């Protein structure tokens, strides 16, 4: 455990130094540093997973019917997004949520998907004020790029992971001989 804590400390240190150097080059008031901080948050949370995992607020944890049946997700092309993740090098950003990359139990994979979903949720929550600030200060280009980043880096992964969690729940129940 101390080795994982050391790795996490090293990652935070590297991200901190990188942030400091970039802020000196592009200016501390640059909105692009907020985007960078979102990516740093996602990376730090992933490295920290062996030590602790983030969780969804209890009010948002329960899956809704539309997140499981697929009609809305199909209309929003969330399944296409999932195929993009599986069929490109993007899959290696979080390979622990794929069955073929993990020999552990379905419950362990579900736990990894739940942690990834929570990480993207909190990244979205932390990044939203930056989007609002760009809009209220009439920085429409920044607002547009930040909104696109929010959708593809956080919202679509959340929707995809919630659907996956529902599928895993059904599979786990079938494996236990229960019908859901």
Tell whether pTM > 0.75: yes
Domain boundaries, the chain: 2-175
Check residue 128 and give its pLDDT: 97
Best-predicted range by mean pLDDT among 27-41, 78-92, 104-118?
27-41
User: For 132-179, how does the pLDDT look when each residue is reduced to its tens digit (9 = 90+)?
Assistant: 999 999 999 999 999 999 999 999 999 999 999 998 888 888 877 765
Check residue 97 and give its pLDDT: 61
Residue 89: pLDDT band (50, 70, 90) is confident
Output the six-digit token pair for 124.
Answer: 């979205």
User: For 27-80, how does the pLDDT look when each residue is reduced to its tens digit (9 = 90+)?
Assistant: 988 999 999 999 999 999 999 998 999 999 999 999 998 888 778 999 999 999
Residue 98: pLDDT band (50, 70, 90) is low
Mean pLDDT for 94-105 is: 59
Residue 103: pLDDT band (50, 70, 90) is very low
Name the burial class of residue 102, with classes exposed (0-12), middle (13-18) and buried (19+) by CB atoms within 10 angstroms of its CB: middle
DSSP assignment string, the chain: -HHHHHHHHHHHHHHHHHHHHHHHHH-TT-THHHHHHHHHHHHHHHHHTTT------HHHHSPPHHHHHSHHHHHTTHHHHHHHHHHSGGGGGSGGGSGGG--S-HHHHHHHHHHHHHHHHHHHHHHHHHHHHHHHTT-HHHHHHHHHHHIIIIIHHHHHHHHHHHHHHHHHHHHTT---
């Amino acid at each position: 455990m101390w080795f994982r804590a050391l790795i996490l400390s090293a990652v935070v240190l590297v991200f901190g130094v990188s942030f400091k150097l970039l802020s000196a080059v592009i200016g501390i008031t640059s909105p692009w540093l907020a985007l960078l901080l979102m990516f740093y948050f996602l990376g730090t949370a992933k490295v920290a997973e062996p030590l602790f995992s983030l969780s969804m607020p209890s009010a948002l944890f329960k899956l809704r019917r539309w997140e499981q049946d697929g009609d809305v997700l199909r209309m929003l092309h969330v399944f296409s997004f999932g195929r993009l993740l599986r069929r490109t090098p993007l899959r290696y950003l979080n390979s622990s949520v794929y069955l073929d990359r993990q020999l552990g139990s379905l419950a362990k994979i579900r736990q990894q998907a739940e942690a990834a979903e929570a990480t993207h949720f909190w990244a979205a929550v932390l990044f939203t004020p930056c989007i609002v600030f760009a809009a209220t200060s009439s920085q429409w280009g920044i607002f547009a790029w930040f909104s696109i980043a929010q959708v593809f880096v956080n919202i679509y992964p959340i929707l995809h992971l919630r659907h996956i969690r529902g599928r895993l729940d059904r599979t786990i129940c079938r494996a236990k001989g229960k019908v859901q």
